[in-house]
Amino acid sequence: MARVNGPFLSIDASGKLYNTLVASIWKGRNYMRGHFIPTNPNTDAQKVVRNMFKAAVLAWQTLYWADQDTWNIAARDVYPPISGFNYFVSQYCLQTHLPTIPAIAPKKAKVIHRR
């Protein structure tokens, strides 16, 4: 059952409503979407990607806290804004070894719908 604080869709709502709608908050914004059960084909390619992400998370967790802070500071220059953890994992997947912080932060266009 969905939990609603205040009038429906105006303040906060979270949870599933009769297996049809899901309400949640993402980056401070309320949203609703249709409920679906994702498929899990568990292919070899999917296993490779999952193992890469697993290795990236493990590498982040073994980083010294000062190095994590350096990634958090570097992530402030990335657009759209992401966390230092997300920046580290993305660079880990792009680089084939323990990543280094790029000299120029990646930036995506600020255009939302590409008109």
pLDDT digits (tens, 9 = 90+) for 19-60: 888 888 877 778 888 888 888 888 999 999 999 999 999 999
Report whether pLDDT(68) > 70: yes
97, pLDDT greater than 80: no
Contact 68, 79 (CB under 8 A): no
CA-to-CA distance for 61 and 69, rounded, in angstroms?
12
The per-residue pLDDT for range 4-14, each reduced to its tens digit, is 566 555 567 77
| pLDDT at 112 (0 to 100) | 57
CB 89 within 8 A of CB 99: no
Whether 113 shows a pLDDT value over 60: the answer reads no
d(CA 113, CA 115): 6
Concatenated DSSP letters of 60-87: HHHS-HHHHHHHHHHGGGSBS---HHHH
